[in-house]
Amino acid sequence: MNWVLPIKKPVGLVSRRKVEDKMTLREKVYDSIKQDIVSGNYSTSDILNEKNLMNKYQISKAPVRDALIELCNEGVLKSIPRLGYVIVSYSKEYLDGILKLRKFLEPKYLDEYWERVQDRDIEVLESLHLEQMENACREDPVSYWNTNMDFHLTLASFYHDEYYYEILENAFQKQMLVFSQYYWNSWNREVFNIYSHQHSEFLFYLKNRDRKKAVEELRRDIDYFMKG
């Protein structure tokens, strides 16, 4: 059977939808605010308002407001009438729920769609992994998270199941936001090395078409995060 659904390209937590010179002002402001939030430059006690952001980016109100509305729609910010915008605070139980969902879904979907993953797909995933190991900044948790997210979403794109991809992408987006609120200050660069090793192990089983061990390794990858 020939699958005709398009393969979606992961874009990381902070949008990389277009090269910067082709992005609209709204997209640039959106990306910048989200980057500041996940990097810890804003805390849940900070108030973001349109006037200050207009001064910061030296632009008019419309693109700033549009970016803030988009972030509210995504559950990143919450509007406080006559005051501004605050970062939505999530509980650690919310993070646990995301991880449990991923641990249930990702191995199950790999097993279910095993035959859809072609040799050329594995080559793409391996090339991405090698590029990530070479270029990602191990000192920066945001850089780490984007590489981890892109690896998992690239794998998910091979299944050609758009609904599943959207669920998983949303889970990663929320997981990053919640994780940044609680754990960024205790970031350990060794986490990057551990995940790189686990992804290498997973690719080994995937290339050798060892279905059982690949599924187990994917589950172990998520399980480590839950225990870490």
Chain-centroid distance, C-alpha 198:
18
Per-residue confidence band for 22, with pLDDT thresholds at 50, 70 and 90: confident
**131-189 pLDDT, tens digit each:** 988 886 666 767 777 888 999 999 999 999 999 999 999 999 898 888 878 766 655 55
pLDDT reported for residue 138: 63
Cα–Cα distance, 176 to 170 (Å, whole number): 10
Q: Are 125 and 155 in contact (CB under 8 A)?
A: yes
Per-residue confidence band for 9, with pLDDT thresholds at 50, 70 and 90: low
217-221 long-range contacts (CB < 8 A, ≥24 apart) are 218/106, 218/107, 218/110, 219/103, 219/106, 219/107, 221/195
Cα–Cα distance, 50 to 63 (Å, whole number): 10
Chain-centroid distance, C-alpha 62:
27
**176-205 pLDDT, tens digit each:** 888 878 766 655 555 556 667 889 999 999
Per-residue confidence band for 10, with pLDDT thresholds at 50, 70 and 90: low
pLDDT reported for residue 16: 47
pLDDT reported for residue 4: 36
